[in-house]
Each structure stands twice: as C-alpha cells, then as structure tokens.
Amino acid sequence: MTGLRASWSLRDATPLARSRARIAETESRLRAWVALDFPSSGRIPLGVKDIIDVAGFPTRCGSPLRADAAPALSDAAIVTAWRAAGAVPVGKTVTTEFAYFSPGPTDNPSAPGHTPGGSSSGSAAAVAAGQVPLALGSQTAGSVTRPASYCGVASLVMSHGRFPMDGVTGLSPSLDSHGVFAAGVSDLALAFSLLTGSPATAAARPPRLLRWRPPVEPSMAAAIGFAAARLAAAGAAIDEFPASVAELTAAHPVVMAYEAARERAAELAQIARLSVPLATLLRAGLETPEASYAAALRAIRDARDRIAPLLEPYDAILGPAALGPPPAGRHATGDPVLSRPWQALGLPVVTVPGLSTSEGLPLGVQLVGRRGGETALLATGCWVESALQAPQCGVGCV
C-alpha cells in the first residue's frame, strides 16, 4: 500500500510489525505522531492522544508551554484500562493545543490537503492511514466525532464519566469524555468488549431510530437521506426526532469556556504564549458570570429530563456527524456544532463511516445512544454499518 488511506482489523496476525512498517511508509507525509517508541511485544498497537499520560512519554498537549515537559511517571487511568485489555501504546498522537481549535500539522489520509478535524487529529488520521488499529481521543465538544467523519473511520465517544479522567489534561470536567477510533464499528465493538469484559453482541433485530435533521451542507443532507432510506429498506423503523436541542447547543459553549478558564488557570497566566483560539476561549470563560454558568447547567439538566424519556423506546438517534465533508486546507479543524448538544448531555456516540460525496470526500453518520448504553449502541452501529455496506453502493450515490 503506497497511498495514505488504508485500514486493518484488530484480528491482524502481525500487528506490531505491520504498524511499524506502515508508520515508516507514511508518517513523513501524514505527520500524525509527536513521539514513537515501539515495545518489543504486544497484541494491539495503540495510539494515544497527547493530552493523555503514558508512562515514559511527555504529555505536551500540542502547546509550546509544554515543550519541555518531563516524561509522565505513570499511565492515565484509561491507558491502564486499555493495557489490561491487550492494547500497548506505541506513541503519542498529534492534538490541537490543549485539545481546542489551533490545528497541528497532520494531513487527512482520506482527503489529502483537507483537515483531519480536531482536536484528536493524529489519532483519527493514524487509524485512517492503517498505522494502528486503535487510537485514543477525547471529546469536549466534537473532538472525536468530527475527525472520524472527516477521516472516514469509526469512533466511539463514551458516556461522560464512563471511565475516570485521571491523567488526562482536560478542558471542562462537566463535558470531557473518552473516545476511541477504529477502522469500522465492528472493530470498535470488539475493542470495547475487551476493555469492559461485556460481550460484543450483534443487534437482535433491525433498530428503532429517531432521525435528527439539523441544518447541514447539501452533500451531507443527501448522504443522511440516502442512509435513512437504505436503513428503512433493510428493516429499520425510523421516526422523526421530535425535540429541539437549541438550548443545549447554546449552553454547551458557556459551560466549556467557564470551566476551561478555571481548569487551565496556569495556562491563562501565560496567555500571551497561547494560540489565538485558546486564548480567546479562556478570556471568554474568565469573563462569563457565574450566574450565566449556573443557568447553562440548569438548561442542560432540564433538557436531559425532557429528552431521556424520548430515547427510551429507541435504539439510537440517527444524524449527521459533521456539517459536511472535511474542509480544504489545514488552517482550521471544522465546526463541532453537531456534537455540542449530545456532549452536553453526556451521551455515548458512535460514528459510522462509509458515505462520501460524489468527489469521494468522507461523510459520517452519527448514532447517539442512551447514557451508559455503549454496548447496545455499538450493536446498533454494527447493524447500521452492515446495512449501509451491503449491497455495496459506493455512496458516490450522494
């Protein structure tokens, strides 16, 4: 394989050797890693976003403020959990500065010259290029879902609080969640089963879905329409999502800015050395009145009480994972607006790859599940992935 785009399965027979060779072949063009150190043995090569501690690696957070950081003395709790599941870190992947908007150097292997998204840029790109079968990300706004959509891979954002955030340099304790990327949803389901000990089960029946229709670019609207029609033809029951999430979309950035200014107080004291996007976020958070923060939290609680009962009879909410395909250039990482409401609610999200524009640019489907329902959501995601792939239509259909 000489191109940047490639994928593999967790069931690969020679994972470390393949990972090492693929990184050697593609990394000079992709630039997904900030540090590499291959172990002598291991079952599943793992990339780790560089805001997550891995023993022996510095955690630089994509920032000049951490350029001289000493190596971490211990793993983050989530890395410890993945090691127990059979994964072995091979390096740290590129992140935007402190997991906000200032982009790194990573290219998009599925759309060279386009952004891979952010903030988990390197992790999404490394999986899309076939450098590793799994890579860890984090999501505070849309930092996992959007890169997965842009790079044409699968991702899981775990329910808020599903695993502890110890050893992760976060932005917003109310919003920060763990994420993981793989080539397809079936690999995610297997990986999550290894992580949690819960069986990876297939959906026992066609799912019941709620279709969410936010404003998106024409290519994404056509793709989601195609997906809904394909899923309905395969037996899925699809109803319209009956609620507004406007108050969640508005409340999310208020909470994020207010908490980020306090969580990153040490960086705020050196604001002149920060990127413009991060400095702007921290200033906004510092200027946000406590009453506005409290009101945003109330709006989220009220929306949770209103929306949770709507989800109970359904397996997932079906909607677009991003506004459209990855924008050209690498000067920005795209808009996370379609992830903000679900992140505010702390719900798990699976991104299903496989759709594309007529030019071949990736488009992802977002499935939102019930809090704590990752295993069931992944089963639904596997069904959706299978239904969209067979019979193969190559979704230049959109």
Q: Which of 260, 292, 309 is the last residue of a domain?
A: 309
DSSP letter for 321, please: S
For range 144-154, the mean pLDDT: 98
H helices within the chain, ranges in order? Answer: 15-30, 77-84, 121-128, 145-151, 185-196, 218-233, 246-263, 265-268, 276-287, 290-311, 340-345, 374-389
Per-residue pLDDT of 75-95, as tens digits, reads 999 999 999 999 999 999 999
Describe the strand order of the beta sheet including 349-356 as a list of residue ranges.
33-36, 87-93, 44-49, 134-139, 177-182, 154-157, 349-356, 362-368, 316-320, 208-211, 237-240
Q: Is the pLDDT of residue 395 over 60?
A: no
Domain, as residue range, for 276: 246-309
- Domain shared by 251 and 365, yes or no: no
Give the pLDDT band of residue 393 (cuts 50, 70, 90): very low
For range 123-145, the mean pLDDT: 98
- The predicted model scores a pTM of 0.96
- Domain shared by 270 and 183, yes or no: no
- Domain shared by 155 and 303, yes or no: no
Q: Is the pLDDT of residue 398 over 60?
A: no
Between strands 87-93 and 134-139, the pairing is unpaired
In a domain, 8, yes or no: no
**How far is the first Cα of the chain from the last one, in angstroms, to the nearest whole number?**
27
CB 57 within 8 A of CB 35: yes
Between strands 316-320 and 362-368, the pairing is antiparallel
CB 314 within 8 A of CB 346: no
- Domain shared by 322 and 258, yes or no: no
In a domain, 264, yes or no: yes
Q: Which of 279, 309, 339 is the last residue of a domain?
A: 309
Helix (H, G, I), strand (E, B) or coil at 350: strand
Q: Is the pLDDT of residue 361 over 80?
A: yes
Q: What is the pLDDT of residue 200?
A: 79
* Higher per-residue confidence, 42 vs 367: 367
CATH of the domain at 354: 3.90.1300.10
For range 216-231, the mean pLDDT: 98
**Number of domains, the chain:** 2
Q: Is the pLDDT of residue 16 over 70?
A: yes
- Domain shared by 178 and 280, yes or no: no
* AA letter at 95: T
- Domain shared by 205 and 292, yes or no: no
User: What is the C-alpha separation between 364 and 156, in angstroms, rounded?
Assistant: 13
User: What is the C-alpha separation between 386 and 391, in angstroms, rounded?
Assistant: 9
- Domain shared by 212 and 352, yes or no: yes
For range 207-227, the mean pLDDT: 98
CB 126 within 8 A of CB 135: yes
Q: What is the pLDDT of residue 390?
A: 62
Per-residue pLDDT of 266-324, as tens digits, reads 999 999 999 999 999 999 999 999 999 999 999 999 999 999 999 999 999 999 999 99
For range 369-387, the mean pLDDT: 97
- Domain shared by 148 and 31, yes or no: yes
In a domain, 338, yes or no: yes
Q: How far is CA 206 from CA 95, 96, 234, 318, 349, in A?
A: 37, 38, 8, 14, 19
| Residue 326 CB burial class (10 angstroms; 0-12, 13-18, ≥19) | buried
Q: What is the pLDDT of residue 184?
A: 96
Between strands 33-36 and 87-93, the pairing is antiparallel
Per-residue pLDDT of 90-104, as tens digits, reads 999 999 999 999 999
Give the pLDDT band of residue 391 (cuts 50, 70, 90): low
Q: Is the pLDDT of residue 396 over 70?
A: no
- Domain shared by 71 and 210, yes or no: yes
Q: What is the pLDDT of residue 299?
A: 98
Distant-in-sequence, close-in-space partners of 325: CB < 8 Å, separation ≥ 6 = 111, 114, 150, 217, 219, 220, 356, 357, 359, 361, 362, 363
- Domain shared by 130 and 185, yes or no: yes
For range 103-112, the mean pLDDT: 97
In a domain, 189, yes or no: yes
Q: Which of 290, 309, 328 is the last residue of a domain?
A: 309
For range 25-46, the mean pLDDT: 96
